[in-house]
Amino acid sequence: MPDKKESEYVAPRDARGRKAVIDVRDLTKIYKMEQIEVPALRGITLQVYEGEFVSIMGPSGSGKSTMLQILGALDQPTSGEYYLDGVDVAKLKDAQLATIRNKKIGFVFQNFNLLARTSALRQVELPLLYAGAHDRAARARAALQIVGLGDRIRHHPNELSGGQQQRVAIARAIVNNPTIVLADEPTGNLDSHSGIEILKVFQSMNRERGITTIFVTHDTFVARHTDRIIMLSDGLIVADHPVAHPFEAGAVDRPSEGGELESIFKETYQSNGARAALH
Ligand code: ADP
Ligand code: MG
C-alpha cells in the first residue's frame, strides 16, 4: 500500500464543528543518552481545536516541555503522527520544520528569549524578516499595541520589567498571525502581579482574536484561567477536563487554600501513583 497522501488527510472536528489544528496520535519521544534511553512521552493522543485555550499541567519531569517542543516543531517525535493545521509534521525535514514554525507557530518561553541589545520593535519585526514580509514596522507596532506596549517600542529589554519583556515576546509570537501560540511556563519567572498581567494578555488574545493557545504551567491557579486542562504524568495524558467557569484574569485572588482544581490535581496524581510534588 502506498503512503497516504497529505491531501487525503481530513482534520477531525469537535461537537461545535471546530477543526482540529493540532492532531496528535500515539506520539512518543525517547531521548537517547549514550547507552540509556529516557522515555519522555509514551503515547500521546490529543486534538486541540481552533480557538481553544488549553493548559498542560503535570509534575516536573512529566513531559510537558518535551510535548510543547514537538507541538512547536522545535523537535521531532520518535514515533507517532502529528498533523498541524493539516500538515504532516512528523515527515518534515529540518528546513521545512523551520518554515512551518515561522508560518504557523508562535512560541513563548519562560525566560522570554529576547535579544539584549535590540529594541522591542526590532524584536517583534524579526519573524517578519525571516518570512520576507512587507510593512514589517507597522505590523510589529500593531502587535506591540495588542499586548499593551504601544508606548515602549523603542525600549530595550533591560529598560523593561519582566512582565513587559514577556509581553514583547508575546507580540513577537503573534506578529505572523500563527495558527497556534504555544507557551512554556510563561508566568514561571514572574511575580504574581506580572503573571496576572500576562494571563490577561493571553485571555484577551484568545477571546477577542480567537488565537488558539496552549499554555504549560504547574500552577493550578494559573491553569484555572484557561478553558481546558490536560494533565500529564510520566509521559502520558492522565486527565483532560473542560473548565466550566474559567477565572477572569485579575478578577479572582489566588485562594490561600487549594481550590477544587487542586484536589482534582492531587487525586489525579495520587491515583496514578505519580510524584505529587509540584516543585
Ligand atoms: P517537564 O517539562 O514536565 O518538567 P520534560 O519534558 O522537560 O518535563 O522532561 C521529561 C523527561 O525527559 C524527564 O525525565 C527529563 O529528564 C527527560 N529529558 C528532557 N529533555 C531531555 C534531553 N534533552 N535529553 C535527555 N533527557 C531529557
Ligand atoms: Mg518543563
Tell me the pLDDT of the chain (279 aa) as tens digits: 455 555 689 999 999 999 999 999 999 999 998 899 999 999 999 999 999 999 999 999 999 999 999 999 999 999 999 999 999 998 899 899 999 999 999 999 999 999 999 999 999 999 999 889 999 999 999 999 999 999 999 999 999 999 999 999 999 999 999 999 999 999 999 999 999 999 999 999 999 999 999 999 988 899 999 999 999 999 999 999 999 999 999 998 887 766 667 777 777 777 554 444 443
| Amino acid found at 270 | Q
**What's the whole-model pTM score?**
0.91
CA 235 to ligand 1: nearest atom: 10
Q: How far apart are CA 237 and CA 264, in angstroms?
A: 14
Ligand 1: lining residues by beta carbon, under 6 Å:
31, 33, 38, 40, 58, 60-66
CA of 231 to the centre of ligand 2 (A): 13
CATH of domain 51-71+96-278: 3.40.50.300
Residue nearest to atom 7 of ligand 1 (CA): 65
- The set of cell numbers assigned to 127 is 519573524
Ligand nearest to the CA of 109: 2
Query: Taking a C-beta distance cutoff of 8 angstroms, is the pair 175, 130 a contact?
Result: no
- At a CB cut-off of 8 Å and minimum separation 6, what does 237 contact? 44, 45, 46, 230, 231
Task: Give Cα separations from 228 to 213, 214, 242, 263, 274 (angstroms).
Answer: 11, 10, 4, 16, 21
- Best substitution site from 30, 31, 71, 238 to test ligand 1's pocket, by max atoms within 8 Å of Cβ? 31
- The set of cell numbers assigned to 199 is 494571563
